[in-house]
Amino acid sequence: MTSTSRLVHDERPTAPRVWWVIAVLFGVSLALIFLPCGGIAALVALTIGTCLAGMYVSARGSTRTRVTADTLFVADARIPLTALGQPEVLEGEEARAWRTYKADLRSFMVMRGLIPGAVRVEVVDPDDPTPYLCLSTRTPELPAKALGAQS
């Protein structure tokens, strides 16, 4: 790795553990529905139902946030740190407010409703119409520190 691609922060906000339990219970419920059709049908329903529900839960946690020495990677976006201002840590009610009534439709948001914290970063590039980024994170201080140190 070169010095410009050095990883400073890496996070993947995953789905809560209880969602994995619900995925298994979804498969079990399908197995119970198909049990009158026979044991093989119930086993197939258990397998397919659990796999489908597991794929859904896994997809909910597939968005990764990475900060290198010169770039922020979020989902499919690659944003140079020179285009970003100072990060702002959002927690609790303030994070919920930026997800809802304070939100600008032009903003770039990667939000997870069950994750209470977020980081909001102004976009200072005059050619970019996006006013800010708002990213869900379980520990908003860590990406804010990584982004603030690089600006």
- Per-residue pLDDT reduced to its tens digit, 18-53: 889 999 999 999 999 999 999 999 999 999 999 999
Task: Give the residue with greater pLDDT, 29 vs 81.
Answer: 29
Cβ proximity of 139 and 13 under 8 Å: no
In a domain, 87, yes or no: yes
Is position 7 within any domain? no
In terms of DSSP H, where are the helices of the chain? 17-34, 39-60, 93-99, 141-150
Rounded CA gap, 41 and 47, in Å? 10
Determine the 3-state secondary structure of 37 from DSSP. Answer: helix
Residue 3: inside a domain, yes or no?
A: no
Is residue 115 included in any domain, yes or no? Answer: yes
User: Residue 3: pLDDT above 70?
Assistant: no
Q: Is-contact 133 75, C-beta < 8 A?
A: no
Residue 144 belongs to a domain:
yes
Q: How many domains does the chain have?
A: 2
pTM: 0.70
What are the residues whose beta carbons fall under 8 Å from the beta carbon of 100, sequence distance 6 or more?
none
